[in-house]
Structure 1
Amino acid sequence: MSAVPSTSSESPDSTVCPACPAYPAYPDSPGHPGSVRTASRVASRSASRRRLLRGALTVALATGMAGALVGCSDAEPGAAKASVEQGGGAPSDKALAGLVQKAADGGSLGVIVRVDRGEGKPVEIARQADWTKDDHRIAPDDRFRVGSNTKTMTATLVLQQVAEKKIGLDDPVEKWLPGKVEGGADITVRMLLNHTSGLGDFLLTPEFLPSLTGQEKRTWKPEELLAVTPEQDPPAGPGEKYSYSNANYLALGLILEKATGSTVAQLIEQKITGPLGMKHSFLATDASWKDEKRHVNGYEPDAARLKKILSGTVEVPDGVGFAGPRRPGHNVGTTDIDPSWAWAAGGMVSTAQDWQRFMTALMSGKLLPKAQMKQMRTTVPAPEEGGAYGLGLIKVDTACGTVWGHTGGLPGYSSEIYTDGHGRRSVAVLTSTNFGVKEKAAATANKAVVEGAVCRMLGQPIPSKSPGK
């Protein structure tokens, strides 16, 4: 089988980051009645409908790697100085806060930004559109569905098992999941991790769309979603090219459970969230929140507005939209849509601070041995995404510096979380809509926030020619 050539292999410094906290070291319910259609049967559906669904979902939910990052331009003079807000001792950044407020008012609805430069107190900003305050007043420490950022955590768990020689990166998937993954004899664990398996994505299927939008209340098993996963369109063999698929990480979750005898949720708590003190993070098993008072509400455009937003990209059938209560501005509330289907591919609930703690520990070498960190940071080209992808980790080069991390998207929730190459500094940008920031003005404002926050994290001024200014 052919293999995608690696584009980079980097390891973090062997010295422990002095600014990092001291972390401990360490080396579902039944599905809907009826038969599940096989992958080959799904793949035979009409090309036109496949393209329609693919366009609608990949626009906002199949996680564009580079997110809003395109690099920083000329610096805004004097903008790097921070001030202290009245009534609190945490530093603030008036220029960045202004961009966040503009984004919230311009369609992002609710935005949390947390910038930790590895020294002093982090900058924390939370802004929201006025009408959303009737639902909940957001705060920097609110819980949030981080979506596909979960993939970095799942990859970390897999690489821990690789270090313990319980799983091999070149193990065929068929060894672990016989008969459960189409072409599993030719797909390796490494290919699942870096999205070169050749598997398509179940997000694109008519079977799953009603659950994704909340129109159907169904609890999916990972095996059921793998069974409805189509082949890529156009087809690509295992190892031939990068193509993002949530199915890869559902398969990895099943492999982890078989190799360890523990559930993914147990492994997350035992290996990562527990030792790191991530008290506000958990893997969602339904639509409920562990703290009903401290979570961000999610929103998406209603069916009519959604169709208009995507009109230049894809034809959306009349009536296709997200289920939820009507809200101002042709929005619907998506907070009650069950995200448990995402599981090992995107089911984590966390806070900005908790997830930055995880990324800091990971990138500073506290969760994986050097050999596995090198493997994680070995990337393959992902030209359609504007970056490079390692093993559950995205590398993005900006004019302000190189960052590592991931992005996430679920109905009502969009996130971008990055660190520098050593885990000394980190940034999180959490937005309470996904499709809503696909409108041109909203996208521009959100992009300015992410660019500005990343540059601040790297010790650079906000770009003076940012599209959001």
Structure 2
Amino acid sequence: MISLLRYLSLPILFAFLVVNILGAQTTNPEFDSLFAEKLQQKLTELGDEGDYRGLSAAVLIPGQGIWTGAYGLAAPGVPMETNMRLGIASNSKAVTAGLLLKLQDEGLLDLDDPISLYLPDYPQVDGNIPIRALLNHSTGLFDFINDWSGATQTAYGDDDNRVWSLADLMATLGMPYFSVGEQFDYSNTNFLVAGLVAEAAGGATLGQLYHQYLFDPLDLDMAYPPHDDVFAQPYANLWNTAGTSVSLDGNGEHTFLTFPASAGAIWSTPYDLVRWYEALFNSDWLEEPSSEDLRYRDGYIAYTTGVRVRNDLGHSFYYHAGAWGFRSYLLYDPRTGISVAMISNQYGTSVTASAIDLFAEALAELPEPNRDVGLVDVLPVGTTCFADEPFILVRNEGLEAITSLQAGVGLDGTWQDTLTVEVGGGLAPGGQLFVNLPFSLGNTEEGKRTFQVELITGTPDDIPNNNYRNVAFARDDGTGLALPFTEDFEGTMNMPSSLISQQRDNLLDWTVTKFASATGQQSLARINYYDGNIGHKYAFDLPLLHIDDQGAMLSFAYAHTIYPGVGREDLRGYISTNCGASFELLFELNNNDLATAPQSTELFLPTQDQWATHQVDLSSFAGEDVLIRFELENEFGNLTYLDDITVDIPTAMTELINADIRLVPNPARQSVGVYFSENDQVRFCQLLDAYGRVLHTEKVAANATEVIIDRANLPAGTYFVKLLTDNAVVGIQRLLFF
């Protein structure tokens, strides 16, 4: 249940998984025996090195099935078995989120509904909170577990056999930390309230709803106390931090079992956890709108809907950790379709690093499948002036030759054709093909589009997860758009249509956030905080633009902070005069040049005064059609934000210069004194950028003759100082910061 610590670790058919659970929570017979042996060896090694009392684990491999393994003791003298249920703690959150998504599929609720439609008034809970904010922890609600009050702690300890109801738990809440939508803060109370919403919308108790919509139809041997007796089937006892066994016999542990409620009280086996993630992420169990809601995340938050997101081992995956006596970790990797689950029955010892090590072992020792064709790359990505048709790079990653191959293709989410891919006498194991697909990408006036392609083999592919790609592109005839160009990131939840990401299948790409902005309500964010893929570069392109003969200026607002003692992110800009065939460096901000706020180990959310503006003179490209690319290199740091990207002709503001206004010094390195006459009756002093946009306004005291302007974090460049009375402009002077 405790929020994950930062440094713990740097569509196949679902039908084949549905088996008799209670009698068959063991490795599938078809699972490669040598692979299974290596996974068990790794689990034993992790158990020994981590000094765990007991571990239970499962790995789901498309084309192989499910491996299960156990290590150590479930209780003194009792070996851990793979069919023993254990508490999964905060991995219960995805189960509760899945229930709400399923209720949305049934038309019983909508994630954008306020909770007041379903719940009575509760002290300390704002009825205007949208259900969606509960599921991504942006409500500000007091955390009834991590921040419980002394009275609650006493009540918890007074009676081991107390069955805590959701209403009992709601009575323990303290004051909210902040108003809904202000920031992200992991709080178990969000999923406590979500459980209440589910009961109201579903018309039944939470235990009944879990069974009706999840456990029974998906044939999962999960249990929710007190609705279910978690001791009715084989289960594992706990060990405390001193290494002493803690007896769980069902006669006096209702407080421990029921207190986490819908935020963390579910019990399961790793076998069923990987099957659960398979249903959630890799099947049609959810309808498409709810599946999109499951995956949607705000750019400032590495949390979707009851599930976290991180990058590591060169992969990008969904995951969650849990801690309530038992410790659990569960991940799903969309690229490979692999799911990994691990649970320990030792309080206080995390399994996060061990679970990711087991994932690494699965990736490293993955047997070569008999039939596996991989879609390695798709072109075009971004803006192109050359391609009328797409190209794909195909590789045979299996042991058998590929003798027949087709490609399903589509645009903007609609499949349009199935094309034959010529493989000659066959594509040998390890062989590659660079293929031009005879399919029209549309005309140059249609702007940003998405291209989908899926490889289809004559015999079903053993590893289908690497057969599909979806990329964004725009075709251009080589004539750039007339200036001005501006993107303020307002009015969209996704990457705006004016920008095209260079990323493929990365869950931590640049994404719009509603939590921070230089102006307006939204900006673009890249969260490096959970990205262990060091050195990876995240790029996006502006549309092709025509620079006027007068030249132009690129301007953008940015905010960033450094994570102490780790890496330094690099933000670079590149420019191309040949429609992306080649690029040259345009600007670079790194280290302290990029930082606009003090170093922080917390998720960075900039205040209004922690934004800076960077300007780049494009006069040397006058008369050219240019493509501008932004690129951020990840060093596992914090967050980077961009806003108000503009390319325009600089504003000439010389006609209003007043000789009675003096700027000292000018040019300036830091502070500037603005001097004027008392007779001018100046009431306001404004600092403007090269486009005439107001960056700062300061009220001037009556009868004053001087104002001091502080440069703060502004980059070098040309600015203007504007003085005003209540209803007129006194004058304007040009200011140069160097």
Q: TM-score, normalised by structure 2?
A: 0.43
Choose between structure 1 and 2: higher helix proportion.
1
Q: 1:150 aligns with which of 92, 104, 107?
A: 92
Question: Is 1:398 the equivalent of 2:339?
Answer: no
Distance of 2:336 and 2:38 partners within structure 1: 25
Superposition pairs for residues 326-405 of structure 1, below 5 Å? 329=243, 332-333=246-247, 337-338=253-254, 339-380=257-298, 388-405=302-319
* Counterpart residue type for residue 241 of structure 2: P
What's 2:106 paired with? 164
Shift in Å at residue 334 of structure 1?
A: 5.8
Shift in Å at residue 288 of structure 1?
A: 4.6
Q: 2:346 aligns with which of 433, 457, 465?
A: 433
Query: Do the aligned partners of 1:115 and 1:426 also contact (CA within 8 Å) in 2?
Result: yes
Question: Is 1:414 the equivalent of 2:319?
Answer: no
Shift in Å at residue 199 of structure 1?
A: 0.3
What's 2:358 paired with? 453
SS of the residue aligned with 1:200? coil
SS of the residue aligned with 2:198? helix
Superposition pairs for residues 43-54 of structure 1, below 5 Å? none
What's 1:103 paired with? 47
Superposition pairs for residues 240-389 of structure 1, below 5 Å? 240-278=182-220, 280-285=221-226, 288-292=229-233, 294-302=234-242, 329=243, 332-333=246-247, 337-338=253-254, 339-380=257-298, 388-389=302-303
Shift in Å at residue 188 of structure 1?
A: 1.4
Distance of 2:132 and 2:107 partners within structure 1: 14
Distance of 2:358 and 2:174 partners within structure 1: 38
Structure 1 range deviating more: 247-256 or 112-121: 112-121
* Counterpart residue type for residue 71 of structure 2: R
* Counterpart residue type for residue 238 of structure 1: V
Choose between structure 1 and 2: higher strand proportion.
2
Distance of 2:241 and 2:227 partners within structure 1: 23
Superposition pairs for residues 192-211 of structure 1, below 5 Å? 192-203=134-145, 204-205=147-148, 206-210=150-154
Distance of 1:410 and 1:212 partners within structure 2: 14
Distance of 1:98 and 1:356 partners within structure 2: 18
* Counterpart residue type for residue 424 of structure 1: G
Post-superposition CA distance 1:343-401 (Å, at most 9, x none): 22112111111121111011014221121111111124677xxxx11111111111231
What's 2:405 paired with? none
Distance of 1:455 and 1:159 partners within structure 2: 31
Query: Do the aligned partners of 1:361 and 1:423 also contact (CA within 8 Å) in 2?
Result: no
Cα–Cα, structure 1 residues 177 and 447, in superposed 2: closer, same or farther, change >3 Å?
closer
* Counterpart residue type for residue 207 of structure 2: A
SS of the residue aligned with 2:318? strand
Question: Is 1:64 the equivalent of 2:8?
Answer: no
Shift in Å at residue 193 of structure 1?
A: 0.9
SS of the residue aligned with 2:151? coil
Cα–Cα, structure 1 residues 106 and 394, in superposed 2: closer, same or farther, change >3 Å?
closer
Shift in Å at residue 163 of structure 1?
A: 2.9
Structure 1 range deviating more: 88-97 or 147-156: 88-97
Query: Do the aligned partners of 2:59 and 2:274 also contact (CA within 8 Å) in 1?
Result: no
Q: Percent identity?
A: 23
What's 2:126 paired with? 184
Structure 1 range deviating more: 88-97 or 140-149: 88-97
SS of the residue aligned with 1:140? coil
SS of the residue aligned with 2:196? helix
Cα–Cα, structure 1 residues 354 and 330, in superposed 2: closer, same or farther, change >3 Å?
closer
* Counterpart residue type for residue 173 of structure 1: I
Shift in Å at residue 458 of structure 1?
A: 4.3
Query: Do the aligned partners of 1:154 and 1:253 also contact (CA within 8 Å) in 2?
Result: yes
Structure 1 range deviating more: 426-435 or 222-231: 222-231
Superposition pairs for residues 14-93 of structure 1, below 5 Å? 61-64=1-4, 68-70=8-10, 91-93=35-37
Shift in Å at residue 201 of structure 1?
A: 0.8
Cα–Cα, structure 1 residues 210 and 145, in superposed 2: closer, same or farther, change >3 Å?
farther
Post-superposition CA distance 1:165-201 (Å, at most 9, x none): 3212222222221212524233111111111111011
Post-superposition CA distance 1:302-346 (Å, at most 9, x none): 5xxxxxxxxxxxxxxxxxxxxxxxxxx456446763311222211
Query: Do the aligned partners of 2:141 and 2:187 also contact (CA within 8 Å) in 1?
Result: yes
Post-superposition CA distance 1:117-171 (Å, at most 9, x none): 1122433221116xx6634211122111111111111111111222333212222
Q: TM-score, normalised by structure 1?
A: 0.65
Which structure has the higher relative contact order (CA within 8 Å, separation 6+)? Answer: 1
Distance of 2:56 and 2:203 partners within structure 1: 37
Post-superposition CA distance 1:72-117 (Å, at most 9, x none): xxxxxxxxxxxx99xx958424376245344356432111121121
What's 2:174 paired with? 230
Shift in Å at residue 447 of structure 1?
A: 4.9
Cα–Cα, structure 1 residues 162 and 67, in superposed 2: closer, same or farther, change >3 Å?
farther
SS of the residue aligned with 1:289? coil
* Counterpart residue type for residue 357 of structure 2: G
Distance of 1:381 and 1:245 partners within structure 2: 19
Q: How many residues align?
A: 343
Distance of 1:178 and 1:331 partners within structure 2: 42
Distance of 2:158 and 2:346 partners within structure 1: 15
SS of the residue aligned with 1:108? coil
Shift in Å at residue 299 of structure 1?
A: 1.5
Shift in Å at residue 282 of structure 1?
A: 1.6
Distance of 2:103 and 2:123 partners within structure 1: 21
Cα–Cα, structure 1 residues 212 and 395, in superposed 2: closer, same or farther, change >3 Å?
farther
SS of the residue aligned with 2:79? coil
Shift in Å at residue 291 of structure 1?
A: 2.9
Query: Do the aligned partners of 1:68 and 1:450 also contact (CA within 8 Å) in 2?
Result: no
* Counterpart residue type for residue 272 of structure 2: D
SS of the residue aligned with 2:217? helix
Unmatched tracts of structure 1, length 5 or more:
1-60, 71-83, 303-328, 438-442, 462-469
SS of the residue aligned with 1:301? coil
Cα–Cα, structure 1 residues 192 and 451, in superposed 2: closer, same or farther, change >3 Å?
same
Distance of 2:57 and 2:364 partners within structure 1: 16
Distance of 2:103 and 2:230 partners within structure 1: 30
Distance of 1:352 and 1:65 partners within structure 2: 22
SS of the residue aligned with 2:329? strand
Query: Do the aligned partners of 1:426 and 1:457 also contact (CA within 8 Å) in 2?
Result: no
Cα–Cα, structure 1 residues 286 and 263, in superposed 2: closer, same or farther, change >3 Å?
closer
* Counterpart residue type for residue 189 of structure 1: I
Larger Rg: 2
* Counterpart residue type for residue 108 of structure 2: K
Shift in Å at residue 455 of structure 1?
A: 2.0
Post-superposition CA distance 1:257-293 (Å, at most 9, x none): 1112122211211111111111x2121218953435x
* Counterpart residue type for residue 351 of structure 1: T
Shift in Å at residue 251 of structure 1?
A: 1.0
